[in-house]
Amino acid sequence: MTAETKIILSLLLPSLGALLISLCGRRPNLRETVTIITAALLFGNVLLLLPEVANGARPVVNLSLVQIFPDVPIKLEVEPLGMMFAVIASGLWIVNSLYSIGYMRGNQEQNQTRFYVCFAIALASTMGVAFAGNMLTLFIFYEALTLSTYPLVTHKGTEDAKAGGRVYLGILLSTSIGLLLLGVLATWNIAGTLDFVPGGILEGKASEAVVGLLLFLYMFGIGKAALMPIHRWLPSAMVAPTPVSALLHAVAVVKAGVFTVLKVTVYIFGVDFLGQTGLSDWVAYIAAATILLASLVAMTKDNLKARLAYSTVSQLSYVVLGAMLASTLGVIGGGMHIAMHAVGKITLFFCAGAIYVATHKTEISEMTGIGRSMPITMFAFFLGSLSIIGLPPFGGSWSKWYLALGAAETGQILLVAVLMISSLLNVAYLMPIVARAFFLPPPEGDGTAAVGIREAPMFCVVPLSITALGCLALFFYADAVYDFLTLLVTPQG
Amino acid sequence: MISAHLPALQVVVPLIAAPLCVILRRGTWTWALALLVSWASLAISVVLLGQVLDDGPLSYAFGGWEPPWGIEYRVDVLNAYVLLIVSVVGAVVLPFARRSVLEEIPESQHSLFYASFLLCLTGLLGVTITGDAFNLFVFLEISSLSSYVLISLGRDRRALHAAFQYLILGTIGATFIVIGIGMLYMATGTLNMADLAARLPFVDESRTVLVSFAFITVGATLKLALFPLHFWLPNAYAYAPSAVTAFLAATATKVGVYILLRFFFTVYSFDFPLKAITLQGMLMPLSVIAVLVASTVAIFERNVKRMLAYSSVAQIGYMILGLSFMSVTGVTAGILHIFNHALMKGGMFLALGCIVLRLGSVELDQLRGVGRRMPLTMFAFVLGGFGLIGIPLTSGFVSKWYLILGAVEGDHWLIAVAMLFSSLLALIYVWRVVEVAYLQAPPEGAKAEEAPLSMLIPTWVLIGANVYFGIETSLSVGVAQTAAELLLDVGLGTSP
C-alpha cells in the first residue's frame, strides 16, 4: 500500500463507516461494532503512515477529481504536526467509541444512529484538517467539521440545546467566513499561492501593516482556537452528550483550531519571519490574558462540564501562546501540548460523563464524597488533573516545560510568569473537586454511603482508565514526541 | 442542414408550441408537449454553447436579411451561457410542474398555463439570443406579459394583486428600455447591437446618447429588481404557483442582469463617459445596500417563500456588485453567480413546492418538524441554503470566492467585509428554517409523507448541480471567465 493510498483511506474509512452505520441503524449492536471497527481500522491505517513521516517524508496526494479553482488544487499532504494530530484523534476515537456505548445506552439517549453517523463524519473532517496540503483544503474541512458537529451539539433537541447550537454555529461560522476566509483570500491575492511551505509564503511580499492585518484575520478567524473574546462557543457546546464534549470539544474540534494556528504560523507566516516582525507579541498577550481569565472563570463554575470547558479555553491558549512566541521551542511546545492536553482533558470529560451516568449529578457541589462510591473514576480524574496542571510524572509537565523554556528563550519573562500562575490556578480549580470527592463525607440521607461502590458501566470505566494511564505513559514517551516534532522545523532532516 | 438554423430554432420551437398547447386543450397532453419542447430547447442550447466555445461567435441572419439591415441573432459565449441556464431551468421545472400544477391550478386552466409557460420561455430565450436592440424589447414584453399571467394563476387571491403590481412596474421598466433604444436609433440610425457598438463611439458625447444610457440603465435595473426598484419581486414570487416561482426566480431576473451586461459592456463602448460613474458611483453602493438590506429583511420574514424572494434581491446585489468592479474577476463573479444562483435558488423554490404540496403552506410555523416528515426535501433545502451562505463545496462558495477576490483586487476592502458579513445574515435566515424544521416536534397527528419522486428528482437535480458545481468548476467558472474576458476586451481591448 503506497502512502497515497493510506492518506486517501484515512478520509475514506470514516466516511464509509458513516454510511455503514446509517445502514445498520436498526441493529444497535452491529452499529456500534461498525463504529469500533472503523475507528480501529482508521487508527491502524494512520499508524502505518507514521514510520514514513518520522523518516522525514511528506507524502502528497492531489485530489484532481475535485477542482474548485483552477490555480488552487485540493491536496493532502502529511507533515509531522498533522501526523501527530491524526494519531491522537483517531486513537482516542477508539476509546471514545467504547465510552459512547456505555454513556449513550446508560442514559438511554435518543437518535443514537444519527449520533454515531455524525461522529464518523466529524472524524473524517478531522482527518482532512490534519492532512490538508494547503489553506483552501484546510478551510473546507474546517467548515465541514463545524457543520458535522452541529447535530451533535443540538443532539438533545431541547431549548437549551438549540440555544447552545446557535452560539456554537454562529461564532464558529461567522469567524471562519467573516475573518478566516478573508484572510485566506488576501493571502492568495498577495502571495499567489496557498500552499504550506516551510518558512512561510509571505516573507518579502507584504508590508508589515498587511502582515499584521493578516495575523489578526487568522488568529480571530480560527474561532476553534477559542481565543478570548471568541471563546463563548466552547462552553455553549457543553450541552452536547459527554462523549461529544470529550472527543470533539476537548480533542478533535478545538485541537483542529490550535492545530490550524500552528500550521499557519509555521507554513504561512513562517516562524522566523514572524519573529523578525515582532507582530505576534500582541497575540501572545491576548493568549496570555485568555489563559488567566479563563482559569479564573473556571473557578467560578459549579457545573463540572462548564468548569472543564473554561479550563480547555485556557489550555488552548497555551498552544496559541507557543505559536506566537515565534520560536522553535515555542512551536514544539505548542505541538506537544496538543497531544498532552488531549489525553488529559478527555480523561476528565470521561469522568464527568461517568459520574452523570452513575448518579445523574452535574454540579460539583453535589459531588461531595463521591470518591467513596466511584473510586476508580475519581482516581482517574485525579491523574488527569495532575497532567493538566503539569506535574511530573505526567505528560502535561513536558509541554509546559518546553513552553516556559520557549518563553524564557525569547526573553518574555512576563509570559513565563503567566504560565506559572496558570499552573497554580489549575490546581485551584481542579484539586478541590478531587479533595471534595475523597476527603469530605457524603451528605446525610444521600444514600451514597450506604450503597458502597457503584461505578458507571464498564464501557465507561475502562476507557477512562486507559486514558488516565495514557497521561502517565506520555511522560515517559515525551522525548519521542519531541523528536518527531523537531522534524517540523528542520524539514527533510 | 438543421444545425445552421439552431439559433432560430432555439426561439421558434417554443414559440410555435405555445399556441399548439392551447389547441390541444387536454392538460396531460399539453404538459407532455411543453416538456418535449423544453428538453429540445435544452439540447439546442447545449449544442450552441459547444459550437460557440469551439468556433467563436455565431451570427444568424433572420430571413436571409444581412445584418445590420435585418434582424440578427448573435450567439457568443455570454449569451450561450445564459441560454443554457434558462433552458436547463425550464427543462427541470416542467417535470416538476405536473404534480404541482395539478394541485395548485384548476384543471381547466392547465393548457393556458403551459402555453404561457412556453411563451415565457420563448421570451427569455429570445431576449438572450437576439442581436437586435428592438427585437430584445419585443421578446422582453413577450416574457413579461406571459409571466404576469403565470403569476396571477397563483391560488392565493393576493396573486392577482402581485401580478398587477408587477404588470405596472414591469411595463414602466420595459418602456424605459424602449425609450432608451429609440434614442439610440435616433442618434445612430441602427438597431443592431454590434453596429451600435461600432457607431456609438462617434456620438458618445451627444446628450441623446447619454440620456438613452440613463433610460436603459433604469429600465434594466427595474426588470432585474435591483434595490430600490425591487418592490414588485417579493409579492410576485411569494404568491405565484410554486413551479412558476422556481422558474422565474432562476431565470427572469438573470435575463435582466444579462440585458444590463449586454448594454454596458457590448453596446456602449468601454470608455463611455457615464459608465464608470454609473457602475462605481451608483450601482456599486446600491448593490451593497441591496445585499445588506434585503438579507436583513429576509431574516424577519415569516413566510419562507417571501424570505427566499428577499434573499433573491440580495443575491442580485451580488451579481451587480461583481459587474461594478469592472475587472475580469469581478465580471466573472457576476456571470458565475447568475448560473450558481439559478441552481441553488431554483432548487430551493422547488423544495418549497414539495412542501406546499404536502403541507399546503410555507409559513414558518407550519414547518415544525418537517425535517423528519420530509427528510429528502428538507435536506435539499438545507444544501441550497448552504449555497446561499457560501459554505465550501457548494456553488455559492465559488461565487463568493471570486466576488471577494474581485473586491480585494480592486482594494474595496470594506465591500469585501460587507459581503462576508452578508453571509452571516444569510446564515441567520437559513438557520431559522433549519431550527424549526429539525429541532421542533411536528404537530400532533402529522403524517410523515415525502413528496412524490416526480417532484423530488427535479429538486435534487438542481441541488445536486449546486453541489457539483461547488466541486468541479471548470465548466461554470471557465465559461464565465471566457465571457468576462470577451466582454471586457470588446470594449476597445483594454481593461482597467
pLDDT at site B174: 93
Query: Rounded to whole angstroms, how far apart are CA atoms A400 and A7?
Result: 31
- In this complex, the residue of A140, A165, A170 whose CB is nearest that of residue B392 is A140
Query: Rounded to whole angstroms, how far apart are CA atoms B488 and B406?
Result: 15
Q: Would residue A470 count as lying in a domain?
A: yes
pLDDT at site B494: 40
- Give per-residue pLDDT as tens, B311-325: 999 999 999 999 999
Domain ranges, residue A466? 280-493
pLDDT at site B456: 92
Least confident of A198-202, A401-405, B156-160, B201-205: B201-205
Contact B408 A185 (CB under 8 A): yes
Q: Categorise residue B349: left if φ over 0, alpha if ψ from -120 to 50, beta otherwise.
A: alpha
Mean of all residue pLDDT scores within chain B: 90
DSSP for A357-375, please give it. Answer: HHH---BGGGGTTHHHH-H
Least confident of B63-72, B159-168, B187-196: B63-72
Query: Rounded to whole angstroms, how far apart are CA atoms A57 and A65?
Result: 24
Which chain B residues are Cβ-neighbours of A162 within 8 angstroms? Answer: 435, 439
Which chain B residues are Cβ-neighbours of A189 within 8 angstroms? Answer: 405, 408-409
Q: Greatest CA separation found in chain A? A: 71
Q: Is B423 on the interface with A (CB under 8 A)?
A: yes
Instruction: Tell me how many domains chain A contains.
Output: 1
Q: Look at chain B and count its residues.
A: 496
Contact B435 A178 (CB under 8 A): no
Q: Is B416 on the interface with A (CB under 8 A)?
A: yes
Query: Rounded to whole angstroms, how far apart are CA atoms A178 and A189?
Result: 17
C-alpha cell recorded at residue A298 = 473556571
Question: B368 φ, ψ to 5°?
Answer: -55, 130
* Domains of chain B by residue range: 274-496
Cα-to-chain-centroid distance, residue A158:
26
Q: Check if the beta carbon of residue B369 is closer than 8 Å to that of residue B318.
A: no
Query: Rounded to whole angstroms, how far apart are CA atoms B365 and A352?
Result: 38
Q: Would residue A269 count as lying in a domain?
A: no
Q: Would residue A1 count as lying in a domain?
A: no
Residue to substitute from B292, B379, B412, B420, interface A, most A β-carbons within 10 A? B420
Contact A177 B471 (CB under 8 A): no
Contact B405 A185 (CB under 8 A): yes
Q: Would residue A316 count as lying in a domain?
A: yes
Which chain B residues are Cβ-neighbours of A165 within 8 angstroms? Answer: 435, 439
A-B contacts at Cβ under 8 angstroms: 80
Provide the shortest C-alpha distance from residue A165 to chain B (in Å).
10
Q: Which residues of B26-37 are buried (b: 16+ CB within 10 A; e: fewer)?
A: ebebbbebbbeb
Which chain B residues are Cβ-neighbours of A181 within 8 angstroms? Answer: 404, 420
- In this complex, the residue of B424, B439, B477 whose CB is nearest that of residue A177 is B424
Contact B417 A182 (CB under 8 A): yes
- Give per-residue pLDDT as tens, B135-155: 999 999 999 999 999 999 988
First to last CA, chain A: 24
pLDDT at site B492: 41
Which of B 352-411 lie inside 8 A of A, CB atoms? Answer: 386, 389-393, 397-398, 401, 404-405, 408-409
Provide the shortest C-alpha distance from residue A173 to chain B (in Å).
8
Query: Rounded to whole angstroms, how far apart are CA atoms A348 and A429?
Result: 13
Q: What is the ipTM of this complex?
A: 0.87
- Give per-residue pLDDT as tens, B242-278: 999 999 999 999 999 999 999 998 888 767 778 888 8
DSSP for B345-390, please give it. Answer: HHHHHHHHHHHHHHHS--BGGGGTTHHHHSHHHHHHHHHHHHHHHT
For chain B, percent of residues with pLDDT exceeding 90: 61
For chain A, which residues lie within 8 Å of any Cβ of chain B, measuring from their own Cβ? 65-70, 139-140, 143-144, 147, 154, 157, 161-162, 165-166, 169-170, 173-174, 177-179, 181-182, 185-186, 188-189
Q: What number of other Cβ atoms are within 10 A of residue A6's Cβ?
A: 18
- In this complex, the residue of A169, A170, A181 whose CB is nearest that of residue B420 is A181
Mean pLDDT, range B353-378, rounded to an integer: 88
Q: Would residue A150 count as lying in a domain?
A: no
Q: Which residue of B has its CA nearest to A163?
A: B435
Q: Which of A378, A372, A377 is nearest to A452 (CA)?
A: A372
Contact B439 A182 (CB under 8 A): no
SS3 B392: coil
Q: What number of other Cβ atoms are within 10 A of residue B69's Cβ?
A: 12
Contact A70 B474 (CB under 8 A): yes
Contact A140 B427 (CB under 8 A): no
Q: What is the pLDDT along chain A (493 residues), one digit of tens a residue?
A: 788 888 888 899 999 999 999 888 888 888 888 899 999 999 999 999 888 888 888 888 888 777 788 888 888 999 889 999 999 999 999 989 988 888 888 888 888 888 899 989 999 999 999 999 899 999 999 999 999 999 999 988 888 888 999 999 999 999 999 899 999 999 998 888 898 988 888 888 888 888 889 999 999 999 999 998 899 999 998 988 888 888 888 888 999 999 999 999 999 998 888 888 888 888 999 999 999 999 999 999 999 999 999 999 999 999 999 999 888 888 899 999 999 999 999 999 999 989 988 888 889 888 888 888 888 899 999 999 999 998 888 888 889 999 999 899 888 889 999 999 999 999 999 999 999 888 888 877 655 555 677 788 888 888 889 999 988 888 888 888 888 888 877 654 3
Q: Which residues of A364-382 are buried (b: 16+ CB within 10 A; e: fewer)?
A: bebbbbbbbbbebbbbbbb
Q: Which of B261, B254, B355 is nearest to B307 (CA)?
A: B355
Type of residue at B475: L
Provide the shortest C-alpha distance from residue A134 to chain B (in Å).
15
Provide the shortest C-alpha distance from residue B468 to chain A (in Å).
10
Cα-to-chain-centroid distance, residue B142:
16
